Copies of this chain bind each other. A is one copy, B any other.
Amino acid sequence: MGMIGGGIGAFIGDAHRRASRICNDYELVGGVFDADYEKSKEFAAGVGIPLQRCYKSVDALIKTELSLPAAERMEVVAIVTPNALHYGFAKKLLVAGFNVICEKPMTMTVKEAQDLEKLVAKTKKTFALTHTYTGYPMVRQMRDLIRKGVLGTIQRIDAQYYQGWINSIIYGTGSRITGVWRLDPKHAGVSSCMGDIGVHAFNLIEFTTGLEVKEVLSDLNSVKEGIQLDLDGTVLIRFSNKKLKGVIRASQVCGGLENDIVISVYGSKGSLRWGQENPNYLYFYSDSEPTRIYKPAHGYNMKNAEEAHTMPAGHPEGIYEALANIYKGAAKSIRKQKFDPCEFPTVHDGVRGMKFIHAVVNSNGKGNVWVKV
């Protein structure tokens, strides 16, 4: 594996490296860790990567790696740069024949996302998008229980993603500055809150239910004078089935909240609810029996959930293991092993996400009207 971005101080790159090591199917052998070559080399030295594979640019990486014998060459490259750079790098790498693991949001525009989708179809390479939360065992269990039909008719869908960390940035009280580029449209794209976290909530809805959001009506909030992007918003959502409606709620200004993701799917026969901060608990509500709590590492779980947890019951696994599960799924795909579609999000999920972000921003810009996704 190679890596683009993720140098010193970048927590998401570190997360990817840990995840790749946990699942034990990857070895980081080189990359472009920072736009600043000196910093990149410093990082490489720190983690024991030979300087000759610490490249000045993605072009240099591609050129040199392609010159290596196939057995020594990087099989896959992880892109963990700011959003604006994903597209260009992913395109070059796919064209050059590399498999790609890419952070979300996948691109800046829907058009770019669709380009990548075509490219993946053409190159037949593996492209994994790290919607990390789909890697949690109980999220996979939720998906498979819904496919099995335990909810009856789905009647309402409600997804929440609330954080509070941007308060410390916009009010200048805090020191968590890694996210400042997220407020700059040049780097973050058309949206902050919806692009960074709302899209996760959207993805969890489509992932767990297998349904597509068809239309959105949004009301976004930039919260403070001088902020150009949304930091908060609510999105009404509709589906093909006109009798099913729902809502996505996301915010980066909920003071003191950490990473409060909750996905709830409500049906005629029961409901399922999962929250990320206690990820090993999945709740099933029914009128006709006591509430059930599903937990990992039990024979009652379905196959995908069971395979996504390695410890015995009661030994909590967390976010790194969730990401490792996605890495593991991608590895299976790269190695042409059998895998379930739930095992990693694809370029198609990336296209859906970009359509969602743009539809939400458009709906808000046009005065809170329905816009197709």
Residues of A within 8 A of B (CB): 11, 14-15, 17-18, 21-22, 24, 47, 151-152, 155-156, 158, 162-165, 167-168, 171, 174, 176, 217, 219, 221-225, 232-234, 236, 238, 243-247, 249, 251, 253-260, 264, 266-271, 276-280, 284-295, 297-300, 310-321, 368, 370
Contacts and interface: CB of A to CB of B under 8 A. Distances in A.
A302 B217 CA distance: 41
A347 B267 CA distance: 37
A366 B310 CA distance: 41
Nearest to A253: B155
Nearest to A238: B219
A289 B294 CA distance: 8
A278 B276 contact: no
Q: Is the interface of A mostly helix, strand, loop or mixed?
A: loop
A300 B310 contact: no
A287 B255 contact: yes
Nearest to A163: B314
A291 to B, nearest CB: 4
Contact of A316 (B221, B246, B313, B316): B316
A284 B276 contact: no
A236 B221 CA distance: 12
Nearest to A370: B368
